[in-house]
Chains A and B, each alone.
Chain A
Amino acid sequence: MRNRVLASFGVLVAVVAAGLVVPVAGQAPKKYTAPKTPWGDPDLQGVWNDATSTPLQRPGNVGDKGVLSDEEAEEFQKSLEHDLTRDRRDGGNAADVNRAYNEHWMDARRLKITADRRTSLIVDPVDGRIPPLVAPSPERRRAQAARADGAARFAAGLPGDFTDMSWPVRCVVRTDVPPYLPTIYNNNFQIFQSPGYVTIAPEMIHSARIIPVDGRPHLNQNLRQWLGDTRGHWEGSTLVVETRNFKSEEGVLLQGANPATFTITERFTRVASDAINYEFTLADPMTWTKPWTALIPWNKVDPGEQMFEYACHEDNFDMVHFLTGARLREKNGETAGQRPARSEER
């Protein structure tokens, strides 16, 4: 109940923020009316891509500017592209080796800033930054510390066990956990609609988020899932999606949010034939001092570009490579700290 109130509060904040403070991405000069499905719902069907170089949080070098002028935007664009590209060879051996996984494998669309020239994907708070964290309970602190220890062993090339690897590395979940954030590749989402449902299929990893929009209640709180339990409804032409009941495993949610109290509200609005505004509000009183909201444009992909199966676990040879490599290093007497940490760039 408390969650619901907080989530509603989050939505309210988002609406106010989007309406008053920040120009909305793709805001058309004249009002766009989305086509309807034969059963009367706004039609969001298609394959969409959310790649962008605009960072989630506003970087320090743009001061407190939320929206840039054309000239500033060009510079911002260039500097982000330079930092992100994996085809440059100016970082010394370690960086070079890391960037061998080069632009060939990456989504080139992630090198472009959003068309509305914003400096952060976060639109609320107005400083474009994630609100301060709440001090975790001792129990949460222990769980987070254990997760961090495992991550450190993995980063040092010495994972003790498969549990030292993150859920994405283990192919349990990847960018299919909401909120949907842009990443280096496979930024595609296909939306399907049928009477009473909107279904979002994220390319990575191949799961389908089947969202009832028929007013049914959520699952009971004691039935928890990796991707949570999702219900949607229409507010005008906007699909509003509320998700809760996330599993209690540490490290699945953004910033180590607390699955017991985390809720997310997502809003999908078609603002042009080839664009959806994807806006999400995260609320978790055990993690952030207040809810926060980001807005990410989704662009329709060329019809010739199809979604393709992203298998992950089936050929996840890396699991064994990481572990056998670690065993070999131990045998050779290596300890953590002797190797440069793996770059987080990847």
Chain B
Amino acid sequence: MQLRRMIGCLGVTGVIVLLSLAVPPLFGQQRAPVGPQFPSAYRPPRAADGHPDLNGIWQAFVTANWDLQDHEAQPGPHPELTGAYGAGPAGQSIVEGGEIPYKAEALARKQANFENRLRVDVSNDKTWHAFGDPEMKCYMPGVPRATYMPFPFHIVQGTGPYILMAYEFTSATRIIRMDWKQAAPTDSWMGWSRGRWDGDTLVIDVTGQREETWFDRAGDFHSDALHVVERYTPVSPYHMMYEATIEDPKVFTRPWKISFPLYRRMEKNVQLLEFKCVPFTEELLFGTFRKQTAR
């Protein structure tokens, strides 16, 4: 990219001269890695059970909750009321290869989701979940969205066959059952999570998720056939790499992958606080059913 830009600037006449001078040093050496690097061959501290200790409060700092794919900064839904409040930051895609491999008809549904993301109609049980971003309605976000919402989560790793993940957003929780055989007894919003260790990586197989959750505010979605495999790998005392493989043959042409780092929250005495958002969404959901007083 840089080379091409340089060539462009120099123009055609300079190209031959440039190439004869610049090619040997540019292509003859190995280029130094660009950007920040995690230490190679990191060995994380161990928990009581001998596995890596993932205890602590973690948070993602990508903007994938607005859109998993590349996105420009965007105004909030009502800039005439709130100005720059509620506007969304720009961000680079966290999807491997950049694009989510939608089936054609599913892509149309994603577009419709986006167009209806602020629409709510709970007047009929049957259309209760038909419109609107579940985040706006304060529903539990499901996996992997819970991981990259702009809120921290706490991993509680003890000695039992369970690891608890507690999320600040709407106080959602999920229990990771380690080396567990039993399949999901029924669908749930945060899904059925079964974990195992692959070396220093915690691998979680998530099935049984309710089909109504979305991946982001851009309307990216899945069906009841969603299968997510997450990988949490400590890469420094303060970072984990997070990776999720997303499979849903009803919606996507092939499995696809997202990845980003998680950061350990380091503030003194940091703790999860409450983001109980039900009271923030009740007026939107139920305000129209209020008794009308005479004017």
Partners in one complex: yes
**In contact, A199 and B166 (Cβ under 8 angstroms):** yes
Say yes or no: is B128 at the interface (Cβ < 8 Å to chain A): yes
Contacts of B90 in A (CB 8 A): none
Contacts of A195 in B (CB 8 A): 48, 55
Say yes or no: is B4 at the interface (Cβ < 8 Å to chain A): no
**In contact, B157 and A170 (Cβ under 8 angstroms):** no
**In contact, B188 and A308 (Cβ under 8 angstroms):** yes
Say yes or no: is B278 at the interface (Cβ < 8 Å to chain A): yes
In the docked arrangement, what's the CA distance between A189 and B282, Å?
28
Contacts of A327 in B (CB 8 A): 289, 291
In the docked arrangement, what's the CA distance between A160 and B287, Å?
10
In A37-91, the 8 Å CB interface with B consists of 37-39, 43, 45-46
Pick from B162, B189, B271: contact of A311, CB under 8 Å = B189
In the docked arrangement, what's the CA distance between A39 and B279, Å?
40
Pick from B134, B139, B140, B158: contact of A193, CB under 8 Å = B158
In the docked arrangement, what's the CA distance between A323 and B291, Å?
8
Say yes or no: is B136 at the interface (Cβ < 8 Å to chain A): no
Contacts of B279 in A (CB 8 A): 170, 172
The residue of chain A having its C-beta at the shortest distance from the C-beta of B165 within the complex is A208
Say yes or no: is B18 at the interface (Cβ < 8 Å to chain A): no
Report the contact-size class of chain B (Cβ under 8 Å from the partner).
35 or more
- Bits for A287-326, please: 1 = Cβ < 8 Å to B, else 0: 0000000000000000000111101011101011001101
Also in contact, A194 and B290, with CB within 8 A (given A311-B188, A320-B122): no
In the docked arrangement, what's the CA distance between A161 and B282, Å?
10
**In contact, B286 and A45 (Cβ under 8 angstroms):** no
SS of B interface (majority): loop
- Bits for B180-207, please: 1 = Cβ < 8 Å to A, else 0: 0000010011100000000000000000
**In contact, B55 and A309 (Cβ under 8 angstroms):** no
Say yes or no: is A144 at the interface (Cβ < 8 Å to chain B): no
Q: Which of B162, B174, B189, B212 has the most CB of A within 10 A?
A: B162
Contacts of B289 in A (CB 8 A): 162, 320, 323-324, 327
In the docked arrangement, what's the CA distance between A307 and B190, Å?
13
**In contact, B290 and A208 (Cβ under 8 angstroms):** no
Say yes or no: is B123 at the interface (Cβ < 8 Å to chain A): yes
Say yes or no: is A206 at the interface (Cβ < 8 Å to chain B): yes
Say yes or no: is B156 at the interface (Cβ < 8 Å to chain A): yes
Also in contact, A208 and B278, with CB within 8 A (given A308-B188, A320-B122, A327-B289): no
Contacts of B172 in A (CB 8 A): 206
- Bits for A166-187, please: 1 = Cβ < 8 Å to B, else 0: 0000111100000000000000
Say yes or no: is A9 at the interface (Cβ < 8 Å to chain B): no
Pick from B128, B139, B157, B274: contact of A225, CB under 8 Å = B274
Instruction: With both chains docked as a complex, state the minimum distance between the C-beta of B58 and any C-beta of chain A, in angstroms.
Output: 13
In the docked arrangement, what's the CA distance between A306 and B134, Å?
27
In the docked arrangement, what's the CA distance between A78 and B158, Å?
41
The residue of chain B having its C-beta at the shortest distance from the C-beta of A216 within the complex is B269
**In contact, A210 and B271 (Cβ under 8 angstroms):** yes
Say yes or no: is B15 at the interface (Cβ < 8 Å to chain A): no
Say yes or no: is B175 at the interface (Cβ < 8 Å to chain A): yes
**In contact, A192 and B162 (Cβ under 8 angstroms):** yes
**In contact, B128 and A317 (Cβ under 8 angstroms):** yes
Contacts of A38 in B (CB 8 A): 48, 159
Contacts of A319 in B (CB 8 A): 122, 285-286
**In contact, A162 and B271 (Cβ under 8 angstroms):** no
Say yes or no: is A130 at the interface (Cβ < 8 Å to chain B): no
Contacts of B122 in A (CB 8 A): 317, 319-320
Contacts of A265 in B (CB 8 A): none
Also in contact, A199 and B156, with CB within 8 A (given A311-B188, A319-B286, A320-B123): yes
Contacts of B271 in A (CB 8 A): 210, 212, 219
Say yes or no: is B125 at the interface (Cβ < 8 Å to chain A): yes
Pick from A207, A216, A306, A314: contact of B139, CB under 8 Å = A314
The 4 closest A-B pairs by CB, nearest first: A323-B289, A38-B48, A208-B166, A207-B171
CB pairs A–B below 8 angstroms (12 shown)? A160-B290, A194-B157, A195-B48, A199-B164, A205-B171, A217-B269, A225-B273, A306-B177, A313-B138, A317-B128, A320-B289, A323-B290
Measured CB to CB, the residues of A under 8 A from B are 37-39, 43, 45-46, 160-162, 170-173, 190, 192-195, 197, 199, 201, 205-208, 210, 212, 216-217, 219, 223, 225-227, 306-309, 311, 313-315, 317, 319-320, 323-324, 326-327, 330
Q: What 7 new A-B contacts, CB under 8 Å, besides A208-B166, A327-B289? A: A171-B278, A192-B158, A201-B175, A307-B175, A314-B139, A315-B128, A319-B122
